[in-house]
Amino acid sequence: MIRLSVRFASAVALAALSVSFYQAAAQQNVPPAPAQTPGAAVPSAPVPAAPVFPKPDPKNFTATSPTPETINAFLQTSWGFDDTRMWQVQAILKTPVEGISKVAVLVGDKTGKQKPSLIQFFALPDGKHIIAGEEVLPFGEHPYADAKAMLQQRADGPYRGSANKDLEIVEFADFQCPHCKDAQPNMDKLAVDFPKARIVFENYPLERIHPQAKLAAEYAVCVTKAGGSDAFFQFAGAVFDGQDGLASADGATLTLNSAVTKAGQDPAKIAACAATPQTSATVEASVKLAQDLDIQQTPTLVVNGRQIPIGGAPYDTIKQVIEFQEKLDGLTR
């Protein structure tokens, strides 16, 4: 599954509270197992049952904000796609810093296959963010609203599917990233399964580890400018297929020129366009968008503002999360 919550708990986040707190909350008196009678039949293993959470102690609710209702709405938005997940707010505590509260949530699995764990995060005074682990994450009853608005305004890359943005799926990817290449079959499936979606490609070249990625992104910008979104997706497919050729500067030139030709464009014209400051600025604007959204890895999808890191994620899980987001946004299939 996609991390703990598809980004909410991507912060490995929501680290456990102190062991003593958890043990105090979960401690129960369990009688010893009866001695086994010799020759008696060995009983079958019990079927795991959903955990029973201890009743929260009112003394652990010393802060007035956020409210348990807001926290539960946030968790339902973040985790509601997973029918097996259960949780209970255990504490909302004041901290020495005015307006910052420490929240503790007991999380379990309705199937009983996983042991419950206690996680914590710090709610910030603006009511829109939390600190979980080392990350600052969106919070509130509608945690993805700001990111959704940002993408509707600034995600202007090539797209397939619908022209409207009711369901906007934005892929941030790097042409030299192996996981991005592996994700492309899933992107093709999404285009079939969500024909009403607008599926946008945004360049996010990670130059420090992929030296040829920005050049590939610049070529992609120029192919799109010359031939539109259809030409871009032909180009992108060819680049990902020949990704090994991006391992060197000379190989990148051959690979990109070949992909340009397959997209029906003139390699010389595209190369000249790719070398211009304007094209570099276009790629940098896409990178800036990814950074403003605090995207930590490629490939990442952002579905109406909700981040889904998809490298290695099962397709069914990706689809499940998108369908859940559709319902949250009141969209019909």
Domain boundary among 121, 140, 159: 140
Same domain, yes or no: 170 and 309 = yes
pTM: 0.84
Residue 272, helix vs strand vs coil: helix
Domains: count for the chain: 2
Its domain, for residue 59, covers 8-23+53-140
- The CATH number linked to 293 is 3.40.30.10
Residue 247, helix vs strand vs coil: helix
Same domain, yes or no: 177 and 132 = no
Whether residue 30 is contained in a domain is answered as: no
Residue whose structure tokens are 């599926």: 199
Residues with Cβ within 8 Å of 111's Cβ and at least 6 positions away in sequence, in order, are 48, 50, 84
What confidence tens digit (pLDDT) does each residue in 265-292 have?
999 999 999 999 999 999 999 999 999 9
Whether residue 31 is contained in a domain is answered as: no
What confidence tens digit (pLDDT) does each residue in 149-202 have?
999 999 999 999 999 999 999 999 999 999 999 999 999 999 999 999 999 999
Same domain, yes or no: 184 and 136 = no
Q: Would you give the DSSP letter of residue 197?
A: S
What secondary structure, in 3-state letters, does 46-81 show? CCCCCCCCCCCCHHHECCCCCCHHHHHHHHHHHHCC
